[in-house]
Structure 1
Amino acid sequence: MARRRRRPAESVPVVLTDRYSPRSRKVLVRVVGYGLLAVGTVLYLGPFLVQIATSFKTDADAVADPVSLWPSPVSTAAWSVIAGSNPALDIPVLRWLGNSLFVTVSVTLGRLIIDSLAGYALARLRFRGRAMVFAGVVAVLAVPGVVLLIPKFLVLNELGMFDTYAGMILPLLCDAVGILLMKTAFEAVPTELDEAARIDGAGVFRTFWSVVLPLVRPALVTVTILSFQGSWNEFTHFLVATSDPDLATLNLGIARLTAGDLQGSQQFPLKLALATLSTIPIAIVYVFFSRYFMRSGASSSLK
């Protein structure tokens, strides 16, 4: 009698399921990412918000609750003092603002011209010693600015430029970062454009001004923002370049006022109102030029 062959038991496939589906993992990553961005935003903008809020507090409220974001009560006494309501405390804000604007605009325009010319020369022109010049520009970045304070004072005093606008502006008319940014931007432009311009009879400067420079507008905007921000916030150079109160910039005037008439006194609303005033021009310039930078970058990518 033949034995009946057993059929092998059918194997049941084992399905390994993940705890989280791809969609839920994507949502989780987004939640964590936005959470980290929110925490970073609070940590970054928190001091600025506290600064603005404290400028509208009373002295007693600022001492009792220094990190509160809502003044109780709301007071404009600090801003009134800045406007000149207190004759006993002389704060020539308009003079400081005028000096800061004049020096900052002069330095920004000078850096746009000199940095772009130097960057174009290093990117396009072939001349003897070009590598050494580039190495010198890079080496400047390794020198701390505080090391040059005493030499700056000695040179300015020897040249008769101490306590003058020229002594405040000329040493800042170019910077290594701007030169490197412009050099990198010019190197991204095809050299065929220069060759075509030379065939049409354009010289070096005409090629630079009419052909290549309009194509690096995002780099120019970046140099403008960095130059304006750096020269507006500059303190150490102006500290050794002038001692005349009539030539003081806004930051230098605030520092001298804090170390003088406001030394030791609390008056946190007045001090932070002055600090808020010094940040307003930078915020305006950054918002305006950042929008232009985004438009320029989008149009250049489409082309």
Structure 2
Amino acid sequence: MSSAPTSTRPRHGLAPWARITGLLVCALLTLGPVIWTVSTSLRAPAESFDLPPQVIPTEPTADAYRQVFDQVDVWMLALNSTLVTGLIAAGQMLTAGLAGYAFARLEFRFKRTLFAVVLATMMVPLQVTIVPVFLVLKEMSLTDTLLGLIIPAFPTAFGTFLMRQYFLGMPRDLGEAAMIDGAGPWRIFRSVYAPLAAPGLAIVGVLAFNYHWNEFFRPLILETSTENHTLPLGLVSLQGNLGTGSISVVLAGVVLSMIPAIAVFVVGQRPLREGITSAGVNR
């Protein structure tokens, strides 16, 4: 009995060393600015512009970080940012979960048209809507308040789309069995589908936190009082150090503002990865 012929077709894939080299180059290009920022924040101002630049400071010092706390009320700014970002993340998880469930499982008139309108809002730049939002908040006496930053950010078109995909991928039999047992639509959502959609809700929360923690444009337009500034807006005052060559102070403030966002991303990395993968295979 003759053995099956083996294929001699050459493989055109990249060699492992080529793939690893490409990934290392991409990682270096991505992390290079971050490494330079952290390194420069640990240098003395006189060493900030050394040529060629050194990745590792010769004499690391934390003076720049102390100057940041001396010049800016970092704790107040961080508290404002934490309050605003945390409430926005929680609000988006709630609204995205409810809206996604409604578009996926409930039947009502003009459902497809309304969902298309929601998705269309993703193509409207924030700069186009900021003036109408400002006028509405002014009529409600919410300008220059933290609530003025929080409430308009609750609706999320991307979160609604993501949660709709999650609920569409869940079996209908679960809801039908709960309905036979006498559960209503709200009970079915709360007790059956919402716990299964926890990875998707985690994605919405992590992405909302990272985006709004670094948000600058809306606080710049809506907030005028110093006590209502968020961390990115409050750190702008450190730009005055550029005139004296103290770029280390500016970058120290940047490093401080990055720490919470990085921490949230590291903690939520696993549900974020698993949730995006699950959403991608759902119909």
Determine if the TM-score, normalized by the shorter chain, exceeds 0.5. Answer: yes
Aligned counterparts of 1:157 and 1:180: Cα–Cα separation in 2 = 30
Change over 3 Å in CA distance of 1:69–1:286 after alignment to 2 = same
Contact 1:152/1:240 (8 A) holds in 2: no
Aligned counterparts of 2:57 and 2:245: Cα–Cα separation in 1 = 17
- In the TM superposition, residue 57 of structure 1 has moved relative to its aligned partner by 0.5
Contact 2:41/2:248 (8 A) holds in 1: yes
Change over 3 Å in CA distance of 1:265–1:154 after alignment to 2 = farther
Aligned counterparts of 1:298 and 1:185: Cα–Cα separation in 2 = 11
Identity value in percent: 34
- In the TM superposition, residue 73 of structure 1 has moved relative to its aligned partner by 1.9
Change over 3 Å in CA distance of 1:110–1:298 after alignment to 2 = closer
Instruction: Read off the aligned partner of 2:61 and give its amino acid letter.
Output: S
Q: Does 1:35 align with 2:21?
A: yes
Q: How does 1:95-174 map to 2 (within 5 A)?
A: 95-174=76-155
Aligned counterparts of 2:253 and 2:36: Cα–Cα separation in 1 = 14
Instruction: Read off the aligned partner of 1:70 and give its amino acid letter.
Output: I
Aligned counterparts of 2:178 and 2:203: Cα–Cα separation in 1 = 26
Q: Tell me the SS of whatever aligns to 2:56.
A: coil
Contact 1:61/1:72 (8 A) holds in 2: no
Aligned counterparts of 2:112 and 2:255: Cα–Cα separation in 1 = 44
Contact 2:200/2:276 (8 A) holds in 1: no
Consecutive unaligned residues in structure 2, runs of 5 or more: 1-7, 279-283
- In the TM superposition, residue 233 of structure 1 has moved relative to its aligned partner by 1.2
Q: Name 2:49's counterpart in structure 1.
A: 63
Higher relative contact order (CA 8 A, sep 6+): 2
Instruction: Read off the aligned partner of 1:48 and give its amino acid letter.
Output: V
Question: Which of the pair has more CA radius of gyration?
Answer: 1
Query: TM-score, length-normalised on structure 1?
Result: 0.83
Q: Does 1:47 align with 2:61?
A: no
Consecutive unaligned residues in structure 1, runs of 5 or more: 1-17, 85-89
Instruction: Read off the aligned partner of 1:78 and give its amino acid letter.
Output: A
Contact 2:206/2:272 (8 A) holds in 1: no
Q: Name 1:285's counterpart in structure 2.
A: 264
Q: Does 1:175 align with 2:161?
A: no
Change over 3 Å in CA distance of 1:92–1:165 after alignment to 2 = same
Instruction: Read off the aligned partner of 2:36 and give its amino acid letter.
Output: V
Aligned counterparts of 1:33 and 1:243: Cα–Cα separation in 2 = 50
- In the TM superposition, residue 291 of structure 1 has moved relative to its aligned partner by 3.1
Q: Name 2:251's counterpart in structure 1.
A: 272
Change over 3 Å in CA distance of 1:209–1:66 after alignment to 2 = farther
1:29-49: CA deviation from partner (whole Å, max 9, x where unpaired): 111111100000000011100
Instruction: Read off the aligned partner of 1:165 and give its amino acid letter.
Output: L
Range moving further from structure 2, 62-71 or 274-283: 62-71
Aligned counterparts of 1:30 and 1:191: Cα–Cα separation in 2 = 44
Contact 2:40/2:251 (8 A) holds in 1: yes
Instruction: Read off the aligned partner of 2:250 and give its amino acid letter.
Output: K
- In the TM superposition, residue 292 of structure 1 has moved relative to its aligned partner by 4.3
Q: Tell me the SS of whatever aligns to 1:64.
A: coil
1:202-232: CA deviation from partner (whole Å, max 9, x where unpaired): 1111111111111122211111111111111
Aligned counterparts of 2:136 and 2:106: Cα–Cα separation in 1 = 32
Aligned with 2:195 (options 204, 207, 214)? 214
1:56-115: CA deviation from partner (whole Å, max 9, x where unpaired): 00111112247421112212110111233xxxxx31000000000000011011011111
